[in-house]
Amino acid sequence: MDVAKAIKKRRSIRHFQSKPIPKDFEEKLIEALLWAPSAGNLQSRKFYLVKDKTVKEKLVNLALYQSFVLEAPLVIVACADSRIKRRYSQRGRNLYSICDTAVSIENLMLQATELGLGSCWVGSFDEDKIKEILTIPDYLKPIAVIPIGFLAEKPEAPPRAKKEEVIEYK
Ligand SMILES: Cc1cc2nc3c(=O)[nH]c(=O)nc-3n(C[C@H](O)[C@H](O)[C@H](O)COP(=O)(O)O)c2cc1C
């Protein structure tokens, strides 16, 4: 699939089949996470891959009961690593580490699309409770919970802003 097609085909998917993700697909998703750009190539990010049903249930409870998270065979919790501040101080911690994590997530979602998998960036959750459940160290900040699996729905594309609203030539 060419990149332009994957960009437009990717949708936020909120219903999944229970079918597991093949191991070679999972490896491609991991590669997509690893190969994203990052500030100073410090790769200030970490990803927890959750497959355990009990852990997923806990994630649903602290993600405002967004129950579709439990439907997905794989749930990735993406975290920004604040240790980047050793090199880039507050801007590194408050911005670059979050950018590093976000670009990995977009890579992941596009790769998932190419593999025929659906995903959704879930940003509403209780950050402290996620850290507690997954025993995430203090220097990591959970940015997104991303359920991934084969699609059980094909939603229409939500509208986008008009080009004139978002793009300005100078
Ligand atoms: C930072 C961020 C947080 C989001 N949080 C949620 C969320 O908590 N729950 C959810 O169902 N979708 C969430 N989304 C997905 C958006 O609702 C979705 O991307 C948007 O409606 C556009 O639809 P599309 O992804 O199908 O193009 C989030 C997306 C982003 C980028």
Distance 122 CA to ligand 1 centre (A): 6
Which of 7, 11, 12, 106 has most ligand 1 atoms within 8 Å of CB, for mutation?
Answer: 12
Q: What is the pLDDT of residue 38?
A: 97
Q: What is the pLDDT of residue 167?
A: 98
Domains of the chain, CATH where assigned: 3-154 (3.40.109.10)
Q: What phi and psi values does residue 119 have, to the nearest 5 degrees?
A: -150, 165
For the CA of 14, the closest atom of ligand 1 is: 11
Q: Are 128 and 107 in contact (CB under 8 A)?
A: no
Q: What is the pLDDT of residue 158?
A: 98
Q: Are 129 and 62 in contact (CB under 8 A)?
A: yes
- The whole-model pTM stands at 0.97
Amino acid residing at 135: T
Contacts of 79 (CB under 8 A, 6+ apart): 45, 46, 47, 48, 101, 136, 140, 141, 142, 143
Q: What is the pLDDT of residue 92?
A: 86
Is there an atom of ligand 1 within 6 Å of 67 CB? Answer: no
Per-residue pLDDT of the chain (170 residues; tens, 9 = 90+): 899 999 999 999 999 999 999 999 999 999 999 999 999 999 999 999 999 999 999 999 998 878 999 999 999 999 999 999 888 889 988 999 999 999 999 999 999 999 999 999 999 999 999 999 999 999 999 999 999 999 999 999 999 999 999 999 99
Q: What is the pLDDT of residue 85?
A: 81
Q: How far apart are CA 81 and CA 149, in angstroms?
A: 26
Q: How many other C-beta atoms can be found within 10 angstroms of the C-beta atom of residue 142?
A: 22
Residue whose Cα lies nearest atom 7 of ligand 1: it is 122
Is there an atom of ligand 1 within 6 Å of 65 CB? Answer: no
Q: What is the pLDDT of residue 27?
A: 98
Q: What is the pLDDT of residue 67?
A: 92
Tokens of 13: 């998917």
Q: What is the pLDDT of residue 170?
A: 97
